Amino acid sequence: MSFSVVIVAAGSSTRAGPGTPKPWRDLAGRPILRWSVETFLAAGAEDIVVVTAADRISAADDALAGLPGWRAVTGGATRALSVQAGLAALAGDPRDPVLVHDAARPFVTTSQVAALLTALETADGAILALPVADTLKRGQTEIEATLSRDGLWRAQTPQAFRRDILAAAYAAWPGDAEPTDDAAVVERTGGRVALVAGDPMLMKLTYPEDFAMAERLAGGARVTCIGQGVDAHRWGPGEAVWLCGVRIDHDQTLIGHSDADAGLHALTDAILGAIGDGDIGEHFPPTDPQWKGAASDRFLLHAAERVSAQGGRILNVDVTLVCERPRIRPHRDAMRARLAELLGLPLARVSVKATTTEGMGFTGRQEGLLAQAVCAVELPA
């Protein structure tokens, strides 16, 4: 089902203590905002609008660097106005579903998104919610009454709606009141809002102590997948060879449909393998003339974008080149730097090594060059 997302990230975060507002703080090494954006992309969101303060647009660019399918817009003085600004910025069919989410809830999952969209098939809206488990008391300095918790729920986000229904409900909302959530706006117009099982993990980061708890929880919210790639090309007449994105003067070249950069080809396959997304030949068939002589960095960037589209990130890469010639060591630093640049990785997370087969096999006879690559990719659980 086609759907869009509005993420509200325009608050001042005063209750979270001094420092950077919540969406831009790091959680387990990534900005809090990035956690939910990556999940929505993995769930198939076609359009994501991040609503933030005018002076935080560049912060959004930094936090979400490398991720496709999103843009930032300036919010309003209240959450309701920010949501309406996000709705107005969305593209696509206004009858399609929209999910409204608070950036301060980083642990949303793709299965929760799917459950909301399913519930929306028979309702005007759907929210994630948890039944109230604690005994409820009313009072100020002493108890005045004990309240029944039967039928009471704690609302979470994301909340899902038909976009045209939510927009019309906001247009009818009285200007002298501020809704506590988007479901309340649709409820006021008589809309049916379904309850979908929430998750205690989907906590809202509000107070300083919440961030320490979130750091502990973050370790179980992601999985690390390993990919491996192998590629080999024959030597042929030429004057230079491309390896790991670096041109090396040589008395031969590698023969292939593209630029025959075996290092980049092996690494591309490793990345695609880590996310279970086929291999380089499926994405860039050698029978397709448009790839004749193409620079292989295009293939690597494509694989990296596929990782981002699944809400993942590449943790590290390791390439081994097997050949008698040319000598790799003089060019190794340049290769590492180029791979780090292409993948947006720290240099310490990139390894390029070389070895020979002591004259044995096709590489030993200098008939061709072999490249092997391994990578680790972190994905939503």
Give the chain's domains with CATH numbers.
Answer: 4-218 (3.90.550.10), 222-380 (3.30.1330.50)
* pLDDT band, very low/low/confident/very high, at 17 (cuts 50, 70, 90): very low
Query: Is 335 exposed, middle or buried (CB count within 10 Å of its CB: 0-12, 13-18, 19+)?
Result: buried
Q: pLDDT tens-digit profile of 171-189?
A: 999 978 899 999 999 999 9
pLDDT at 14: 45
Higher pLDDT among residues 91 and 185, named by residue: 185
DSSP for 302-319?
HHHHHHHHTT-EEEEEEE
* pLDDT band, very low/low/confident/very high, at 29 (cuts 50, 70, 90): confident
pLDDT at 292: 86
pLDDT score of 201 more than 70: yes
Say if pTM beats, i.e. exceeds, 0.85.
Answer: no
Per-residue CA distances from 153 to 148, 149, 184, 195, 196 (Å): 12, 8, 13, 9, 11
Between CA 259 and CA 1 the distance in angstroms is 39
Between CA 248 and CA 338 the distance in angstroms is 13
pLDDT score of 253 more than 60: yes
CA 192 to centroid of chain Cα atoms = 32
pLDDT score of 330 more than 70: yes
The most confident of 23-37, 58-72, 114-128, 303-317, by mean pLDDT: 114-128
Q: pLDDT tens-digit profile of 114-149?
A: 999 999 999 999 999 999 999 999 999 999 999 999
Across residues 48-71, what is the average pLDDT? 93
Between CA 142 and CA 71 the distance in angstroms is 49
pLDDT score of 219 more than 80: no
Higher pLDDT among residues 212 and 236, named by residue: 236
Please provide the average confidence, as pLDDT, over all residues in the chain: 92
CA 350 to centroid of chain Cα atoms = 21
Minimum mean pLDDT range among 15-29, 252-266, 359-373: 15-29
Between CA 154 and CA 51 the distance in angstroms is 24
pLDDT at 220: 59
Backbone angles phi, psi at 301, to 5 degrees: -65, -35
